[in-house]
């Protein structure tokens, strides 16, 4: 199935088919979920998340070195660094399973509502057998996410996760609620990877309601933050997403410019797969 088929489905009314079409496109082409974040208060982890957004393959090695220097008795710090390593592995096309399991072991003594365990619990989503089981998992996590400190990066990042996963269980109302809450929660973050992740997710959600102008504004906000932080990998992703929003809004010239710019960003750090994804839009 070609990319235009995905787009055609994304323009349907706000129905299960529309949201599942969007979710499939997230995996198949480019995705606000590609910018999954941890939301740590640890400046080392924040720096690592920015490095992942620049070049996830290179970040894998630098994070491994940082883990080797981490005090093994500091379980919270160790768990967070394994989690950020799992993000880097996933974004570089490798399995995050081993890193996630090491994070789980490090966090085994923490409460279920601990920020590390919230992310690990959401990581169980794909392993649940049916939609009802997945929905129950999300509901259990939602209660703990709501109790996180307002304005915290962790609350923003888990809100982005819940927005994404709720599209996969055909719950558009919750998806939009968590997406908009994450965006509001990040209002004080400025040009941060967390604000950018929330903007990108909300842009994708509002585009389903055909508010393309607002979606383009949000994608542009995410793009500006990623460019300012030197996060070329995620900037390439932003440009593809905004390009398809332009295409959906009957602005092919602007779309082509974004696809070409995305390919250039991807070439800047040698990601041929991302170049190919961008050039699909040109076709």
pLDDT per residue rounded down to tens, the chain (283 residues): 222 222 233 333 333 333 334 333 433 445 555 558 999 989 999 999 999 999 999 999 999 999 999 999 999 999 999 999 999 999 888 999 999 999 999 999 999 999 999 999 998 898 888 999 999 999 999 999 999 999 999 999 999 999 999 999 999 999 999 999 999 999 988 889 999 999 999 999 998 888 999 999 999 999 999 999 999 999 999 999 999 999 989 999 999 999 999 999 989 888 888 888 788 877 7
What is residue 209's predicted lDDT score, i.e. its pLDDT?
84
Can you tell me the distance from the alpha carbon of 245 to that of 222, in angstroms, rounded to the nearest whole number?
14
Q: Where does 13-130 have alpha helices with state H? A: 16-28, 43-54, 56-68, 75-91, 97-106, 115-122
Which long-range CB contacts under 8 A does 263-266 form with residues at least 24 apart? 263/236, 265/232, 265/233, 265/235, 265/236, 265/239, 266/232, 266/233, 266/236
Taking each continuous run of H as one helix and of E as one strand, the counts in the chain are 15, 0
> pTM of this prediction?
0.84
Phi, psi for residue 192 in degrees, rounded to 5 = -115, 160
What is residue 128's predicted lDDT score, i.e. its pLDDT?
87
What is residue 282's predicted lDDT score, i.e. its pLDDT?
75
Can you tell me the distance from the alpha carbon of 115 to that of 103, in angstroms, rounded to the nearest whole number?
12
Residues 6+ apart with CB under 8 A from 217: 203
What is residue 129's predicted lDDT score, i.e. its pLDDT?
82
């Amino acid at each position: 199935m070609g990319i235009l088929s995905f787009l055609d489905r994304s323009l349907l009314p706000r129905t299960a088919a529309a949201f599942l079409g969007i979710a499939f496109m997230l995996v198949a082409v480019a995705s606000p979920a590609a910018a999954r974040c941890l939301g740590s208060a640890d400046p080392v982890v924040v720096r690592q998340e920015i490095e992942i957004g620049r070049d996830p393959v290179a970040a894998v090695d630098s994070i491994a070195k940082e883990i080797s220097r981490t005090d093994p008795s500091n379980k919270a710090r160790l768990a967070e660094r394994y989690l950020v390593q799992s993000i880097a592995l996933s974004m570089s096309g490798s399995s995050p399973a081993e890193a996630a399991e090491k994070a789980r072991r490090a966090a085994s003594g923490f409460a279920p509502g601990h920020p590390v365990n919230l992310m690990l619990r959401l990581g169980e989503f794909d392993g649940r057998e049916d939609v009802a089981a997945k929905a129950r998992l999300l509901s259990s996590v939602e209660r703990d996410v709501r109790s996180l400190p307002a304005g915290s990066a962790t609350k923003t990042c888990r809100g982005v996760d819940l927005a994404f996963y709720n599209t996969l269980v055909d719950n558009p109302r919750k998806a939009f609620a968590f997406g908009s809450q994450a965006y509001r929660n990040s209002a004080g973050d400025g040009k941060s990877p967390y604000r950018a992740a929330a903007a990108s997710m909300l842009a994708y959600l509002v585009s389903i309601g055909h508010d393309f102008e607002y979606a383009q504004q949000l994608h542009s906000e995410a793009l500006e933050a990623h460019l300012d932080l030197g996060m070329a990998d995620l900037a390439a992703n932003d440009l593809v997403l905004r390009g398809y929003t332009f295409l959906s809004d009957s602005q092919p010239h602007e779309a082509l410019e974004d696809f070409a710019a995305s390919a250039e960003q991807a070439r800047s750090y040698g990601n041929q797969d991302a170049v190919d994804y961008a050039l699909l839009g040109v076709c």
